Structure 1
Amino acid sequence: MADRRSVATYCGFAGAIVSLGAIVLATIVAPSETFTWQRRALSDMGRYGAPTFLLFNGGLIVGGLIGLPFAWRLWIESRNALERIGTVLLAVAVAGMIGVGVFFLDHTTLYLERNLHGFAALTVFGVPPFAGWIYGTGAALASDGRLAIVSFWFGIVHPLVWLGWLLSLSESTDTGTWFAVPEFIAALALGGWIASLALTIYRRHDSELDVSGR
C-alpha cells in the first residue's frame, strides 16, 4: 500500500487534473451570455448566479485542496533553501486558486464587504513565475539541470503570454478582449509545472515505493 508520501505525490497530478478539467468543462457548457473567449474572463464563469457557478468555483476549490498536500511532499524532497522557497510560493499560488473559488466575482453580495477576488487572482497569475524561477535555480544548484530547465520555462510562459496579449491590443480595443486566453494558458502552465514536479518526485522516489510495496 502506498504511504502518505506517495499519496501526496498523486495529489499533485489529481489537483492539476481536477482544476484544469473543471475550467475546460465550464468553457464548454457555459452559455454565450455568460462566457466567450473573446469578451469574457474565466472568472465570469464563476460569477454569482452564473450557470457554471458551482462547476467553476467548486473545481478550483476542490482541485486546490487536493493539490495542497503535494506542496508538503515537494518540501520534504527539497534539497536546498531555494527549492524550499519555490515550494512555499507554489503553495501560495495554489492557495490563491482556492481563493478565486471562495472569493468569486460578486461574492460581496453574499458575504464580506471587501472584494478579495482581485487579490486572489493576482496571486494565481503573479506568483507562479517567481516560484518556477526560484525553484529552478535551486534545482540547478542541486545539479538537476532537467528540472531546472522545465521550471524556468514553465515560469517564462506566464510573462510571455501576458506580454503577447498586451501587444495584441490596439488603442481602440477593449482591455477585456481575449482576456480569457492568457488566463487559460497561464493556468495550463501552472498545472503543467505541478504535474511535471509530481512526475519527477514519482520517478525519483515513489516508483521504488510502489514496486517494494513500502
Structure 2
Amino acid sequence: MDALAVQSGAVGLLVVYGSLLAAIVLSPTFGWTTSALSDLGAVDAQRMWIFNGGLILGGFLLAIFVRGIVAQTTHRTKQLGAIVLGTAYVLSIFVGVFPHPTPLHNPVALTQFALIPIGLSIYAIGSLSQGVSTMGLAATVLALSAFAGVGWLVTVVSGGSQGIALPELVVVASLDIWTLGMLFQRVKR
C-alpha cells in the first residue's frame, strides 16, 4: 500500500476524533445520554462546521485509506468487506454535507450504520476463510460490537429517546478500530 493511503488513514482518524472532541467540548448543550452525535453538527448548532468539517475531511481521507486496502487485497470476500466499509466512510462525508435535520441526513446516517456491521462481517468471513488470524478474529468481535450498537440504537429510539450518541459511537468506533488495526498492519510491514 502506498504511503499516501496509510497517511490518509492516520490523519483521517485524527481529524474525525479531533473534531468530535472539539465539538463536544465547545457545545453548551451536548449530553451523551440526551443527544445524538449529529446534534453537534445540526443546522442550528453554534459550531456545526467543526463536527461536519471533521466528518467531510476525515471521511474523505479514510475512504482513500480503505481504497488502498481494496487495491492491495487479493481475496474477493475481504475486498467486498473493505468496499462496504469504504462506502460507510464515504457516507460520513454526506452526513456532514447533509446535517441534521435536513431531509437526506437520516437516510444517509441510517445507511452508514447498517453498512458498518455488514462490512465488518463480510471482511471477517473473508479473513477467517483463510484460516484463523488476529485480524479475522478482531473483525468478528468488531462486527458483533457494531451489531450490538445498532440494536442499542434501535432500542433507544424505539423508547422515544433522542439520546443515541453512545450507541452511535459504539457503531462508528467499531469501524474505526478496524481501520486502526489495518493501519498498524500496514505500518509494521
When normalised by structure 2's length, the TM-score is: 0.90
Deviation at 1:86, TM superposition (A): 0.7
Ranges in structure 1 where 5+ consecutive residues have no aligned partner = 108-114, 206-214
Which of 143, 148, 160 is residue 174 of structure 1 equivalent to? 160
Aligned counterpart, 1:92: 87
Pair 1:13-2:1 in alignment: no
Higher relative contact order (CA 8 A, sep 6+): 1
Q: Higher helix share goes to which structure?
A: 2
Pair 1:50-2:45 in alignment: yes
Which of 18, 22, 44 is residue 19 of structure 2 equivalent to? 22
Pair 1:62-2:57 in alignment: yes
Aligned counterpart, 2:170: 185
Q: Distance in 1 between matches of 2:32 and 2:173?
A: 16
* Partners of 2:78 and 2:127 within 8 A in 1: yes
Deviation at 1:162, TM superposition (A): 3.5
Q: Distance in 2 between matches of 1:38 and 1:134?
A: 31
Q: Distance in 1 between matches of 2:43 and 2:60?
A: 21
Q: Distance in 2 between matches of 1:190 and 1:17?
A: 14
Aligned counterpart, 1:101: 96
- Equivalent residue runs for 1:14-163 within 5 Å: 14-32=11-29, 35-107=30-102, 115-143=103-131, 145-163=133-151
* Partners of 1:83 and 1:138 within 8 A in 2: yes
Q: Distance in 1 between matches of 2:112 and 2:179?
A: 13
Q: Distance in 2 between matches of 1:141 and 1:201?
A: 21
Question: Aligned letter for 1:147?
Answer: M
Question: Aligned letter for 1:148?
Answer: G
* Partners of 1:20 and 1:187 within 8 A in 2: no
Q: Distance in 1 between matches of 2:185 and 2:142?
A: 15
Q: Distance in 2 between matches of 1:164 and 1:61?
A: 26
Which of 191, 194, 198 is residue 179 of structure 2 equivalent to? 194
Q: Distance in 2 between matches of 1:85 and 1:58?
A: 28
Deviation at 1:120, TM superposition (A): 1.3
Question: Aligned letter for 1:194?
Answer: T
Deviation at 1:140, TM superposition (A): 1.6
When normalised by structure 1's length, the TM-score is: 0.80
Deviation at 1:165, TM superposition (A): 5.4
Tell me how many residue pairs correspond in the alignment. Answer: 189
Question: Aligned letter for 1:180?
Answer: A
Q: Which digits, 9 at most, give the CA deviation of each residue in 1:17-58, with x for residues without a partner?
A: 2112211221121012xx222222111111113112100100
**In angstroms, what is the RMSD of aligned CA positions?**
2.1
Question: Aligned letter for 2:179?
Answer: I
Q: Distance in 1 between matches of 2:184 and 2:105?
A: 31
